[in-house]
Amino acid sequence: MRIDAVTNYQRIRRQQIMREAEGYLDLIIAFSDQWPLDEKLRDCLARRALDALQSLPTCTGQRANILYLTGQAYRAMERYREAIPPLESAAVLEPDNLLIWLALGWCYKRTSRLDLAIQSLEKGCKASPDEAIVHYNLACYWSLAGKTKRAVRYLSKSFDIDASYRELVANESDFDPIRDQPDFQSLTGAIV
């Protein structure tokens, strides 16, 4: 009976630590579009998340989530190169987790590895083909690569899945390289 109580306590404690780390990251991300945090506060919260995650045993059954959250903490601090290894490890453990592939794509793009960003999102698209965000992001990355037809194909698919993505195109600088292309204008209804 005593061993069961200790095991139960350890499981509950691991869950608490995971929630703590997630909470710090939520504080950073929740309203970042409208009210980004001061860099020092943002980094302090991300370091707290990392500290919490590092206190967890490496053999826990939630290893992929720990690695993903670790990558997200580095990503929040804009330390993209450091975010990549834990995210890659998480992707090996959970290859069907779209959030991991999106985070990897984000980091690869910001480390000037657009080829790997595209590869990551292609894998994410295979894992979750009905998610508009992965098609939209692939359209952005293919646009940056100067591949209009591929960008338009993915953008069209994102619109088919969720028409609200149309509203994002006008302010998305990733589409600047192909904005004047007829295929892109035809899809988006853009006027030159």
CATH number at residue 26: 1.25.40
Residue 181: half-sphere exposure toward Cβ, Cα within 13 Å: 16
151 domain residue, yes or no:
no
What pLDDT, on a 0 to 100 scale, did the predictor assign at position 91? 97
Cα(46)–Cα(61) distance, rounded to whole angstroms? Answer: 23
Q: How many CA atoms lie within 13 A of 144 on its CB side?
A: 16
pLDDT at res. 7:
77
Task: Convert the pLDDT of each residue in 129-187 to its tens digit.
Answer: 999 999 999 999 999 999 999 999 999 999 999 999 999 999 999 999 999 999 999 99
Pairs from 114-119 (Cβ < 8 Å, separation ≥ 24): 114/141, 114/144, 114/145, 117/141, 118/142, 118/145
167 belongs to a structural domain: no
- Amino acid 58: pLDDT: 67
Q: CA dist 169 to 81, 128, 148, 179, Å? A: 28, 22, 14, 10
Q: Is residue 6 part of a domain?
A: yes
Task: Determine what percent of the chain is predicted with pLDDT higher than 90.
Answer: 79
Q: Which domain holds residue 77?
A: 1-95
Assigned domain for 46 exists: yes
Write down the pLDDT at residue 37.
Answer: 82
pLDDT at 60: 64
Q: Give the count of domains, the chain.
A: 1
End-to-end CA, the chain = 74
Alpha helices in 79-179 (DSSP H): 80-93, 98-110, 114-127, 132-144, 148-161, 166-169
| Highest mean pLDDT, choosing among 17-21, 28-32, 60-64 | 17-21
Mean pLDDT of the chain: 92
Residue 189 pLDDT: 85
Q: Is residue 180 part of a domain?
A: no
**Residue at 111 is within a domain:** no
pLDDT value at 192 more than 60? no
- CA separation for the pair 45, 77 (Å, rounded): 9
Q: For the whole prediction, is pTM greater than 0.85?
A: yes
